[in-house]
Amino acid sequence: MFYNLGNSYYKINKVGPSIYNYEKALLLNPLNEDAQNNLVFAKRLSLDRIEELPKSVLQKFNENYLSKLNYMH
Protein backbone atom coordinates (compact mmCIF):
# COMPACT_ATOMS: atom_id res chain seq x y z
CA MET A 1 0.00 0.00 0.00
CA PHE A 2 2.69 2.56 1.00
CA TYR A 3 4.85 1.49 -1.94
CA ASN A 4 2.01 2.20 -4.36
CA LEU A 5 1.34 5.56 -2.71
CA GLY A 6 5.01 6.41 -3.08
CA ASN A 7 4.84 5.56 -6.77
CA SER A 8 1.72 7.68 -7.21
CA TYR A 9 3.27 10.71 -5.55
CA TYR A 10 6.47 10.23 -7.53
CA LYS A 11 4.55 10.23 -10.82
CA ILE A 12 2.87 13.55 -10.02
CA ASN A 13 6.23 15.02 -8.97
CA LYS A 14 5.48 15.20 -5.23
CA VAL A 15 8.90 14.08 -4.05
CA GLY A 16 8.48 14.64 -0.31
CA PRO A 17 5.37 12.47 0.09
CA SER A 18 6.86 9.81 -2.18
CA ILE A 19 9.97 9.55 0.02
CA TYR A 20 7.79 9.36 3.12
CA ASN A 21 5.72 6.52 1.70
CA TYR A 22 8.71 4.57 0.41
CA GLU A 23 10.23 4.78 3.89
CA LYS A 24 6.96 3.60 5.45
CA ALA A 25 6.91 0.68 2.99
CA LEU A 26 10.46 -0.22 4.02
CA LEU A 27 9.50 -0.16 7.69
CA LEU A 28 6.87 -2.81 6.96
CA ASN A 29 9.12 -4.82 4.63
CA PRO A 30 12.83 -3.90 4.81
CA LEU A 31 13.61 -6.39 2.01
CA ASN A 32 11.42 -4.65 -0.58
CA GLU A 33 14.01 -3.98 -3.29
CA ASP A 34 11.61 -1.96 -5.44
CA ALA A 35 10.92 0.44 -2.58
CA GLN A 36 14.65 0.70 -1.85
CA ASN A 37 15.46 1.52 -5.49
CA ASN A 38 12.64 4.02 -5.86
CA LEU A 39 13.64 5.70 -2.61
CA VAL A 40 17.11 6.29 -4.05
CA PHE A 41 15.63 7.89 -7.18
CA ALA A 42 13.25 10.06 -5.17
CA LYS A 43 16.02 11.26 -2.85
CA ARG A 44 18.10 12.29 -5.86
CA LEU A 45 15.26 14.56 -6.97
CA SER A 46 14.92 16.14 -3.54
CA LEU A 47 18.32 17.83 -3.53
CA ASP A 48 17.84 21.55 -3.06
CA ARG A 49 19.82 24.18 -4.85
CA ILE A 50 20.35 26.99 -2.40
CA GLU A 51 21.55 30.22 -3.89
CA GLU A 52 22.81 33.09 -1.80
CA LEU A 53 20.54 36.13 -1.90
CA PRO A 54 22.00 39.52 -2.76
CA LYS A 55 22.87 41.59 0.29
CA SER A 56 20.75 44.54 1.27
CA VAL A 57 22.10 48.05 1.67
CA LEU A 58 22.09 47.67 5.46
CA GLN A 59 23.99 44.38 5.31
CA LYS A 60 26.63 45.93 3.07
CA PHE A 61 26.88 48.95 5.39
CA ASN A 62 27.30 46.64 8.38
CA GLU A 63 30.04 44.63 6.67
CA ASN A 64 31.94 47.64 5.38
CA TYR A 65 31.69 50.09 8.29
CA LEU A 66 29.93 49.01 11.47
CA SER A 67 31.72 45.69 11.90
CA LYS A 68 35.09 47.48 11.71
CA LEU A 69 34.36 49.87 14.58
CA ASN A 70 36.29 49.26 17.76
CA TYR A 71 34.23 49.27 20.96
CA MET A 72 36.97 49.87 23.53
CA HIS A 73 36.10 51.64 26.77
Q: How far is C-alpha 33 from the geometric centre of its chain's CA atoms?
A: 23
Dist. CA 35–CA 27, nearest whole Å: 10
pLDDT for the residue 30: 94
pTM over 0.75: no
Q: For residue range 24-44, what is the model confidence (pLDDT) as tens digits?
A: 999 999 999 999 999 999 988
- Are the beta carbons of 46 and 19 closer than 8 angstroms? yes
Of the candidates 13, 34, 12, 14, which has an alpha carbon nearest to the alpha carbon of residue 25?
34
State which residues of the chain have pLDDT below 50: none
pLDDT for the residue 48: 64
pLDDT for the residue 31: 96
